[in-house]
């Protein structure tokens, strides 16, 4: 049977999203189908976050999906996804309690709920997610495992601008001055990775390297969190041994824009 591959998104698509669609097209092959969902999920926005001003660009999104090889776009309304008297949702109790989950309580419960609903509605054989939100992908992997959802998950490397900034729908919120400093996120993470490969494994020293770089090169940024964790369990690590797989993840506010990025520390 020809596979169906889903790319879940919230719209405002950029080239990073469209690369996910292209990867889905590759996975589906000539005989399969690629579906892209576009839904700004209210359950994953907390009080005071940017739900109302989150960019909605459906017409250009559909055009981009078509060019990238999608067969269909599923763009439901809130009322088509959530019943007004809904009383059930998915609660994640471990991986969502760290990193982004610390400052966004309930966010990943909303992500899990909507992704599970999309899986039920579209019935894909596979789904493609970007690794920019590494925690989100880890949580969806756990959900698929724990709930025995028959969907194969594929993670794609973060797509970046020429200066290293991770592509994001929220980059459009940045002022010119903030945009000039934002690439420091990636540069700081790369500095920590280089130090780790040189034998520095203490989390405090690696954290200091990242923080010092940001303080110097991104003074307009305000760090929300900086986590050094096991790449599988997302548990915080005091020491990051060279023979294990780790993750450094960061979130930084530039004005009202909250940018996230991460880098994997993979043994050679």
Active site residues: 17
Structure tokens at 225: 């969190």
Sign of the C-alpha dihedral, residues 50, 264, 18, 44?
Answer: negative
d(CA 261, CA 54): 19
Q: Which residue reads 């949702």 in tokens?
A: 89
Other Cβ atoms less than 10 A from the Cβ of 102: the count is 13
Q: Among 181, 180, 172, 190, which residue's Cα sits nearest to residue 221?
A: 181
Distance of CA 212 to the CA centre of its chain: 25
For Cα atoms 171, 94, 84, give the angle at the middle one, nearest 5 degrees: 70
The first and second tokens of residue 154, run together, are: 């594929």
């Amino acid at each position: 049977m020809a596979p169906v591959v889903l790319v879940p998104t919230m719209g405002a698509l950029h080239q990073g999203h469209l690369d996910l669609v292209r990867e889905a097209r590759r996975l589906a092959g000539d005989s399969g189908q690629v579906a892209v969902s576009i839904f700004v999920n209210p359950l994953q926005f907390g009080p005071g976050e940017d739900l109302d001003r989150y960019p909605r660009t459906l017409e250009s999104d559909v055009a981009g999906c078509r060019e990238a090889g999608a067969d269909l776009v599923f763009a439901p309304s809130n009322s088509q996804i959530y019943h007004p008297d809904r009383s059930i949702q998915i609660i994640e109790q471990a991986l969502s309690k760290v990193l982004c989950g610390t400052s966004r309580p309930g966010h990943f419960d909303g992500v899990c709920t909507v992704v599970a609903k999309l899986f039920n509605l579209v019935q894909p054989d596979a789904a493609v997610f970007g690794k920019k939100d590494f925690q989100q992908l880890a949580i969806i992997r756990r959900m698929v495992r724990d709930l025995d959802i028959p969907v194969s998950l594929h993670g794609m490397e973060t797509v970046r601008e020429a200066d290293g900034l991770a592509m994001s729908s929220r980059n459009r919120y940045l002022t010119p001055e903030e945009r000039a400093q934002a690439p420091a996120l990636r540069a700081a993470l790369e500095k920590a990775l280089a130090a780790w490969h040189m034998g520095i494994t203490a989390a405090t020293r690696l954290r200091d390297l990242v923080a010092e770089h940001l303080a110097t090169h991104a003074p307009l940024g305000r760090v929300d969190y900086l986590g050094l964790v096991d790449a599988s369990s997302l548990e915080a690590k005091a020491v990051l041994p060279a023979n294990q797989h780790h993750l450094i993840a960061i979130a930084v506010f530039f004005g009202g824009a909250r940018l996230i990025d991460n880098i994997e520390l993979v043994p050679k």
